[in-house]
């Protein structure tokens, strides 16, 4: 199994060979500022107490307060969280927002918990970390299996402990509790803005044939956004498998079917496909929107997409990057492609601190030019450095982080 943090450091090494950032700077970026592991005791419904392992990695606050989601997943472990925190530091710098990089998690399958147990676990995470998070210190957000309701519980617990009433300590909250308009679709919408900014330069047609791996928040909204813009969704998948229709899938029907069946397998207006088959399908645009390490040195040579846009974090390994580059397949990297989520999270934080509430139009009117400008800057750097978009994005981010560090 690929170690996500080793993959992240391999990406850093590749970029440091293209541009001389200085040994001290690169050495400092090879480890997080803090790597916190906690034990969270939770009273279960049957009266027993169960201990859950939790994490918060604070990678770099050179650009601003640590920022990054909290994931609840049975496979979550410290190397994954460290990698995600590092990528978040890069991502915030790419977007040019005043936030650093952090990430959190709990090793748990939330489907195994009752709602009461889940709330006690969520509040317990905050109890253990209330001294190191805060609106000007570290601002968590949702991630895999964490919802606006969970964010509300966490913000409420932080207020109980500290008395802070801004709710700016947590983003991704429900609208009624200080959440931002547009937050639910921000990752996918931001990815679409990046796609639009780069489509012509990458040689994609005006209307693309699109394949999406993952049908959670990002993948589902991506399918809807690309479909409404006139692109054809050929295939989508979730963890249990996927469905394909060469004439295009009806996204609204897919969403309804997924909600009813909790799977995409067996969708009546499509043909079942595995995740492996989906990744290797002929298409203009492949959007990995699930987990890390989906495109590796094992399957990269079988990819037939013209362009890959990474809505997931770390779906392509460094070895796969090299193979794809040799095949002239462009990869729009996660640190650019999915940065809409953290950018709108930052907008929520800003609104909370100022006591404001922006309309969805205001949110997206601010988001689009930020991501379009970042896309063009990265493309220019990649061309000048004769490298790919991922390394171009890392160069831009590292330059910005170094400028803020006292080295």
Q: Which two tokens stand for residue 323?
A: 């193979």
| Rounded distance between C-alpha atoms, residue 347 and residue 369, angstroms | 14
Class of residue 138 by CB neighbours under 10 A (exposed 0-12, middle 13-18, buried 19+): buried
Q: Are strands 271-273 and 66-73 parallel, antiparallel or unpaired?
A: unpaired
103 is catalytic: yes
- The count of other CB atoms within 10 Å of the CB of residue 345 is 28
| Rounded distance between C-alpha atoms, residue 168 and residue 350, angstroms | 8
Contact criterion met (CB below 8 Å) for 402 and 25: yes
| Rounded distance between C-alpha atoms, residue 191 and residue 341, angstroms | 9
Q: Which residues contact 278 (CB under 8 A, 6 or more apart)?
A: 211, 213, 235, 236, 237, 242, 244
Q: What is the DSSP string of 232-285?
A: EEEEEEETTEEEE-TT---HHHHHHHHHHHSSSTT-TTSEEE-HHHHHTS-EEE
Class of residue 224 by CB neighbours under 10 A (exposed 0-12, middle 13-18, buried 19+): middle
Among 67, 82, 91, 103, the one annotated catalytic: 103
Q: Are strands 101-107 and 66-73 parallel, antiparallel or unpaired?
A: parallel
Q: Left if phi > 0, otherwise alpha if psi is -120 to 50, otherwise beta: which for 358?
A: beta
Catalytic sites, residue numbers = 103
């Amino acid at each position: 199994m690929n170690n996500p943090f080793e993959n992240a450091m391999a990406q850093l090494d590749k970029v440091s060979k293209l541009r001389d950032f200085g040994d001290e700077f690169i050495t400092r970026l090879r480890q997080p500022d803090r790597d916190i592991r906690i034990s969270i005791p939770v009273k279960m419904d049957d009266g027993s107490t169960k201990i859950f392992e939790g994490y918060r990695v604070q990678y770099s606050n050179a650009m601003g307060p640590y920022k990054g989601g909290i994931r609840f997943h049975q496979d979550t472990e410290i190397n994954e969280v460290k990698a995600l925190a590092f990528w978040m530091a890069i991502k915030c710098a790419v977007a040019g927002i005043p936030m650093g990089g952090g990430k959190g998690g709990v090793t748990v399958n939330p489907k195994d918990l009752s709602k009461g147990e889940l709330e006690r676990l969520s509040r317990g995470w905050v109890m253990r970390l209330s001294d190191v998070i805060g609106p000007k210190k570290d601002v968590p957000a949702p991630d895999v299996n964490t919802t606006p309701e969970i964010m509300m519980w966490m913000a409420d617990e932080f207020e109980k402990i500290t008395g802070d009433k801004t709710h700016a300590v947590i983003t991704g909250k429900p609208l009624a509790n200080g959440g931002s308009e547009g937050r639910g679709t921000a990752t996918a919408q931001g990815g679409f803005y990046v796609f639009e900014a780069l489509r012509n330069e990458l040689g994609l047609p005006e209307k693309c044939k699109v394949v999406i791996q993952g049908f959670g928040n990002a993948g589902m909204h991506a399918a809807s956004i690309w479909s409404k813009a006139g692109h054809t969704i050929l295939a989508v998948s979730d963890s249990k498998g996927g469905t394909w229709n060469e004439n295009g899938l009806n996204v609204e029907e897919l969403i309804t079917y997924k909600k009813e069946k909790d799977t995409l397998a067996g969708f009546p207006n499509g043909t079942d496909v595995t995740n492996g088959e989906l990744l290797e399908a002929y298409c203009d645009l492949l959007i990995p929107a699930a987990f890390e390490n989906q495109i590796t040195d094992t399957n990269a040579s079988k990819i037939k997409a013209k362009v890959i846009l990474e809505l997931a974090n770390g779906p392509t390994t460094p070895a796969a990057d090299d193979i794809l580059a040799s095949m002239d397949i462009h990869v729009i990297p996660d640190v650019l492609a999915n940065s809409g989520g953290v950018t709108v999270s930052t907008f929520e934080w800003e609104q909370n601190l100022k006591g404001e509430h922006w309309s969805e139009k205001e949110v997206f009117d601010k988001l689009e030019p930020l991501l379009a400008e970042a896309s063009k800057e990265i493309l220019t750097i990649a061309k000048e450095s004769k490298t790919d978009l991922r390394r171009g994005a890392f160069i831009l981010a590292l330059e910005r982080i170094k400028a803020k560090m006292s080295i």
